[in-house]
């Protein structure tokens, strides 16, 4: 039997680690290059919702992750400047877990399965070579459609929540609150037409909301854990088509979904799962690299196209004050509209 070809993965985030674990379960040799190290905080609302949970279960990882400071989120409330929604029951519960624990657990599992994880190495990603998968996260766009986007996250104690998940809309952004195990994730996405002010210097203002807003009320007594503070800029939410990329990519490197849906982690797990079998065939010499790349791109495009478009539309609507209040009124009158939006964006 010919030797198995090694798969190299650039990026040890959720997509890269899940793919690495899946390939190691099939005894494929894998090297992951990760620019950072573990544990580390990431900008993320930190709730996994949608099919990603099934993917993790199939890979035998879900129980393992549930045991690492995870809790189920079952309810959500939406707040605009004018109106607040009723408490909505999530059609499927989400798994709320800090990325500090999640990424580290997956990294441990990859190493335990015999994978070669090289931390603190930034691997050049150009040009993409045969056998190399890009799982290096979002592609950087300093300006997207005239907007500069910024994501911020911090953990806090003494934040008063009405539901497991909350979304507070502000004039040019939103702040999500998610109850984690013992603390609350406070995560915001903001946009600006002009260069963004120093994000790290102004983070408290970004999270405090207008003086009389619901957000200000919820965070009035908050004790923020500054060690968990992190930021990310250069985001773009234009749905990508995998076939245009002409490389093998998974997770945000394939396409970033508008974060408002809380489905990016799920897409990272799902796209990794899609890539496992074609990469196994390539490693065994049964499929060309070009064929492998095309198959993964086609399957990812098919799985995510509709979801990416709906999420992009939904995020645009939520950034429009009248449309966002209209949407909240709609779900207040017709909770089934919320269920339909929830299910179709994941």
Ligand X SMILES: Cc1cc2nc3c(=O)[nH]c(=O)nc-3n(C[C@H](O)[C@H](O)[C@H](O)COP(=O)(O)OP(=O)(O)OC[C@H]3O[C@@H](n4cnc5c(N)ncnc54)[C@H](O)[C@@H]3O)c2cc1C
Residue ranges binding ligand X (CB under 6 A): 10-16, 33-36, 42-48, 122-123, 125, 135-137, 151, 187, 189, 232, 235, 251-253, 259, 262-266, 268
Q: Tokens 């409330």 correspond to what residue? A: 77
The whole-angstrom separation of Cα 177 and Cα 163 is 9
By beta-carbon proximity to ligand X, the closer residue of 116 and 287 is: 116
Q: Smallest gap, in angstroms, from Cβ of residue 165 to ligand X?
A: 9
User: Could you tell me the two tokens for 11?
Assistant: 């990026």
CA-to-CA dists, residue 320 to 7, 11, 169, 314, angstroms: 44, 35, 10, 10
By beta-carbon proximity to ligand X, the closer residue of 249 and 293 is: 249
Neighbour tally for 125: CB within 10 Å: 16
By beta-carbon proximity to ligand X, the closer residue of 200 and 333 is: 200
CA-to-CA dists, residue 75 to 135, 162, 163, 279, angstroms: 32, 9, 5, 38
Report strand pairing: 165-170 vs 173-179: antiparallel
Q: Smallest gap, in angstroms, from Cβ of residue 87 to ligand X?
A: 19
Neighbour tally for 89: CB within 10 Å: 13
Q: Smallest gap, in angstroms, from Cβ of residue 137 to ligand X?
A: 3
By beta-carbon proximity to ligand X, the closer residue of 137 and 278 is: 137
Q: Smallest gap, in angstroms, from Cβ of residue 140 to ligand X?
A: 10
By beta-carbon proximity to ligand X, the closer residue of 19 and 222 is: 19
Q: Smallest gap, in angstroms, from Cβ of residue 1 to ligand X?
A: 32
Q: Smallest gap, in angstroms, from Cβ of residue 249 to ligand X?
A: 9
Q: Smallest gap, in angstroms, from Cβ of residue 291 to ligand X?
A: 23
The three-class DSSP label of residue 26 is coil
By beta-carbon proximity to ligand X, the closer residue of 90 and 333 is: 90
Q: Smallest gap, in angstroms, from Cβ of residue 251 to ligand X?
A: 2
Question: Which H/E stretch holds residue 281?
Answer: helix 264-283
User: Could you tell me the two tokens for 83?
Assistant: 């109106």
- Torsion sign across C-alpha atoms 231, 236, 242, 246: negative
By beta-carbon proximity to ligand X, the closer residue of 189 and 274 is: 189
The whole-angstrom separation of Cα 265 and Cα 229 is 19
Q: Smallest gap, in angstroms, from Cβ of residue 11 to ligand X?
A: 3
The whole-angstrom separation of Cα 241 and Cα 140 is 16
> In the complex, which residue's CB is closest to ligand X?
13
Which positions ≥6 away from 341 have C-beta within 8 Å? 310, 314, 331
By beta-carbon proximity to ligand X, the closer residue of 49 and 324 is: 49
Sequence-ordered alpha helix ranges (H) in 26-145: 52-58, 62-66, 99-112
The whole-angstrom separation of Cα 10 and Cα 110 is 14
By beta-carbon proximity to ligand X, the closer residue of 29 and 234 is: 234
The three-class DSSP label of residue 298 is helix
């Amino acid at each position: 039997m010919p030797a198995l070809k090694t798969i190299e993965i650039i990026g040890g985030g959720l997509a890269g680690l899940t793919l690495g674990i899946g390939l190691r379960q099939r005894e494929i040799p894998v090297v992951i290059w990760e620019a950072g190290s573990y544990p580390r905080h990431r900008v993320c609302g930190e709730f996994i919702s949608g099919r990603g949970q099934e993917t993790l279960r199939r890979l035998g990882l879900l129980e393992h992750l549930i045991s690492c400071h995870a809790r189920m989120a079952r309810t959500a409330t939406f707040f605009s400047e004018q109106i607040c929604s009723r408490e909505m029951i999530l059609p499927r519960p989400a798994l709320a877990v800090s990325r500090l624990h999640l990424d580290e657990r997956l990294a441990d599992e990859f190493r335990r399965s015999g994978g070669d994880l090289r931390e603190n190495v930034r691997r050049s990603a150009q040009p993409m070579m045969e056998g190399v998968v890009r799982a290096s996260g979002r592609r950087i766009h300093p300006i997207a459609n005239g907007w500069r986007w910024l994501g911020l996250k911090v953990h806090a104690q003494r934040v008063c929540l009405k539901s497991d998940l909350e979304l507070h809309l502000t004039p040019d952004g939103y702040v999500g609150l998610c109850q984690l195990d013992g603390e609350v994730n406070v995560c915001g996405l903001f946009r600006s037409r002009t260069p963004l002010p120093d994000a790290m210097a102004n983070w408290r203002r970004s999270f405090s909301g207008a003086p009389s807003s619901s957000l200000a009320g919820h965070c009035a007594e908050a004790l923020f854990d500054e060690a968990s503070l992190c930021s990310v800029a250069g985001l773009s939410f234009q749905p990508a088509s995998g076939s245009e990329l002409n490389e093998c990519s998974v997770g945000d490197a394939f396409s970033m979904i508008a974060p408002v849906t809380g489905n990016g982690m799920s897409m990272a797990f799902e796209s990794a799962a899609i890539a496992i079998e074609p990469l196994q065939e390539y490693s065994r010499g049964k499929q060309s690299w070009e064929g492998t790349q095309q198959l993964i791109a086609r399957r990812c495009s098919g799985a995510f196209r509709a979801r990416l478009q709906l999420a992009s539309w939904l995020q645009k609507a939520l950034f429009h004050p009248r449309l966002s209040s209209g949407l909240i009124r709609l779900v207040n009158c017709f909770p089934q509209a919320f269920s339909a939006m929830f299910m179709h964006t994941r």
